[in-house]
Amino acid sequence: MKCWLINNINPNHKRENRMKIKQFFRGLTMVLLLLLVSCSGQQKVDTAAVRQVIDAQNQKYKTAFNTRDASGLVELFTEDATSMPPNQEILRGKAAIQRSNQQAFEMGVIDLRQQTVSLEVYGDVAHEVGKYTVTLQQEGGEGIDHTGKYVAVWKKQPDGNWLIHLEIWNSSMPLTES
C-alpha cells in the first residue's frame, strides 16, 4: 500500500508537487514552533527574591531546631510533606515529621548550622542543595560534630509563602570499620 503523499504526486507536475510538499512541511514546522513557544510561556521568576524568602525560612528552621521546638519546625512544611531521614522509613505528613524530630532532640541532636550551596527555582517549585553540621550531645559527654548534605524541595503556597514539601539528608562522614 502506497503512502497518501506518494499516491497524490503526479509525475507530470513534479515541480508543482515539490512546492506543495515544501509548503506542507513549512506549515507543519510553523505549527510545531507555535506550539513549542506557547508551551514554554512560564512566568519569569525572581530567583533572588525567592532566595531571600527561603533564607528567612531556613533561619526559622534553625531557630526551631536549636530551641528543640519540633512543633514550630513542622510549621515550615506543607501538610503533605515527605521527609527521608537516614536509616529510617519515609515519613509522610507533619505529624510523622514532628515525632521524628522530637526523637532526634531527645537523643541529643542539637546546634544545627546549615549553608545553602545552590537554589534553583522553577515556577512554584524550588530545590535547594546544602550542607549542614549538627552536634550530637551524649549525656555527660562532649558534643561531637556531625556533617552532612541535604536536598529540600520547596513549594510556593497560595499565600506566597514557601514551605518544604520534600527533604532528604545524609551524612558526609566516612564509614568506620567494624
What tens digit of pLDDT does each residue of 119-151 get?
999 999 999 999 999 999 888 888 899 999 999
For the stretch 64-87, pLDDT in tens is 999 999 999 999 999 999 999 999
Query: What percent of the chain clears pLDDT 70, i.e. is strictly above it?
Result: 75
Distance, in Å, from the CA atom of 45 to the CA atom of 127, rounded to the nearest integer, reads 14
Same domain, 81 and 18: no
- Indicate if 31 and 56 belong to the same structural domain: no
Q: How far is CA 17 from CA 24, 31, 129, 132, 156, in A?
A: 10, 21, 57, 67, 54
Q: Are 53 and 39 within one domain?
A: no
The cell numbers describing 49, all together, are 527574591
Same domain membership, residue 89 and residue 157: yes
Residue 7 lies inside a defined structural domain of this protein: no
pLDDT at 139: 81
- For residues 123 and 86, membership in a common domain is answered with yes
pLDDT tens-digit readout, 31-43: 555 555 445 555 6
3 in a domain, yes or no?
no
Query: Residue 77's domain spans which residues?
Result: 47-171
Res 4: pLDDT: 39
Is the overall model pTM greater than 0.85, yes or no? no
The total of structural domains in the chain comes to 2
Do residues 70 and 34 both lie within one domain?
no
Maximum CA pair distance of the chain?
Answer: 98
In a domain, 6, yes or no: no
Q: Are residues 31 and 119 in the same domain?
A: no
pLDDT (tens digit per residue) in 100-109: 999 999 999 9
Q: Are residues 26 and 92 in the same domain?
A: no
